[in-house]
Amino acid sequence: MNPNPLEKDIESAVCTYAKEQGMLVYKFTSPSRRSVPDRMFITLRGQVFFIEFKRKGEPLTPGQAREHQRLKEQNVSVYVIDSIVDGKMLVELMS
């Protein structure tokens, strides 16, 4: 396993794991708003949360930080995940 996987590899592994746990996983885009989180997850209990995937050590862009803050101000859960292990742990916690 690559010690520093690419963002797309982290995203793919975590999304596959979440689906295996029964979650719905959607690629999240907003035509009228840039810098929204990468994915929306919906648990079997109906809880919704978002994940922004990053390569280890890669910071959020200013636009991403702004959008995350907007979501958090609305009591929406949004997380930044930069490893497969952390992503799987989050999925387990949210399941």
Q: What is the pLDDT along the chain (95 residues), one digit of tens a residue?
A: 677 899 999 999 999 999 999 999 999 888 888 899 999 999 999 999 999 999 998 999 999 999 999 999 999 999 999 999 999 999 999 99
Q: Is residue 23 part of a domain?
A: yes
Give dist(CA 82, CA 12) in Å, integer: 12
Q: Is residue 77 part of a domain?
A: yes
Q: Is residue 18 part of a domain?
A: yes
Burial 12-29 (b: 16+ CB within 10 A, else e): ebbbebbeebebebeeee
Q: Is residue 1 part of a domain?
A: no
Number of domains composing the chain: 1
CATH number at residue 43: 3.40.1350.10
- Residue 16's domain spans which residues? 7-94
61: alpha, beta or left, given left = phi > 0 and alpha = psi -120 to 50? beta
Predicted model pTM: 0.91
Which residue bears the tokens 């200013």? Answer: 62
User: What are the helix and strand counts (H, E) for the chain?
Assistant: 3, 4
Q: Is residue 88 part of a domain?
A: yes
